[in-house]
Amino acid sequence: MFYLELKIVHPYLFSIILYNMSSSVKDLKKSFNKLCGPAQFYLGMSLISIVIYLVNMMEHTNQMTTLSGIVMQSLVVLVWTYVLNWVCTLKYGVKISWLLVFLPIILVIILLVVFYHMIDTMGLKKEDIQKMVNNKDYKDEDDDNLIEGSCSSCSA
């Protein structure tokens, strides 16, 4: 009913709205193309991340917390994209921007390798790791012997 009344008021309103939407999409595309490669890559990956965040947000009961999270994530994406695009204008800026884009990924890979090496060296089992993660009172039988002179079963 509202659509019919709107169409009677201005028969070309729908076409004007479509034209404005298509022109704004063209403006967004032009703005995206003006960004340097690292900023475009980061923005694209971040938009995919925000879509995944939105999909996961549907499962949570506290919508306000997740809504504030997505607002903050969107602000960080916009600011970081601007920073990356600004760094690209500097001398060697494109290489520095690529480093800034991939630095978190490189650090996570290094961290995973260190954790894997630590777990492998300590000889931890899956159950031990689960106990540590769940913060259950993880106490090894040999904990008393770790500190010199604290053996409870030893007599002086």
> Are 106 and 57 within one domain?
yes
Which range (23-27, 86-90, 99-103, 127-131) has the least confidence? 23-27
> Are 112 and 99 within one domain?
yes
Specify if 138 maps to a domain.
Answer: no
> Are 24 and 84 within one domain?
no
Contacts of 23 (CB under 8 A, 6+ apart): none
Specify if 66 maps to a domain.
Answer: yes
> Are 21 and 87 within one domain?
no
Specify if 76 maps to a domain.
Answer: yes
> Are 91 and 106 within one domain?
yes
> Are 18 and 57 within one domain?
no
Residue 5 binned pLDDT confidence (cut-offs 50, 70, 90): very low
How many folded domains does the chain comprise? 2
Specify if 116 maps to a domain.
Answer: yes
C-alpha–C-alpha distance, residues 35 and 44, integer Å: 11
pLDDT attached to residue 9: 47
Residue 138 binned pLDDT confidence (cut-offs 50, 70, 90): very low
Residue 26 binned pLDDT confidence (cut-offs 50, 70, 90): confident
> Are 27 and 69 within one domain?
no
Specify if 53 maps to a domain.
Answer: yes
Instruction: Say if residue 121's pLDDT is above 70.
Output: yes
pTM of the model: 0.61
> What is the length of the chain?
156
Q: Which domain holds residue 61?
A: 35-133
> Are 87 and 61 within one domain?
yes
> Are 73 and 29 within one domain?
no
Burial bucket for residue 87 (CB in 10 Å: 0-12, 13-18, 19+) = buried
pLDDT attached to residue 137: 54
Greater model confidence, 148 or 49: 49
Q: What is the mean pLDDT of the chain?
A: 75
Instruction: Say if residue 129's pLDDT is above 70.
Output: yes
pLDDT attached to residue 4: 45
Percent pLDDT > 70 in the chain is: 66
> Are 53 and 103 within one domain?
yes
**Model confidence pLDDT, tens digit, residues 44-91:** 999 998 888 888 777 766 666 677 788 888 899 889 988 998 998 888
Distance of CA 54 to the CA centre of its chain: 12
Specify if 149 maps to a domain.
Answer: no
> Are 22 and 89 within one domain?
no
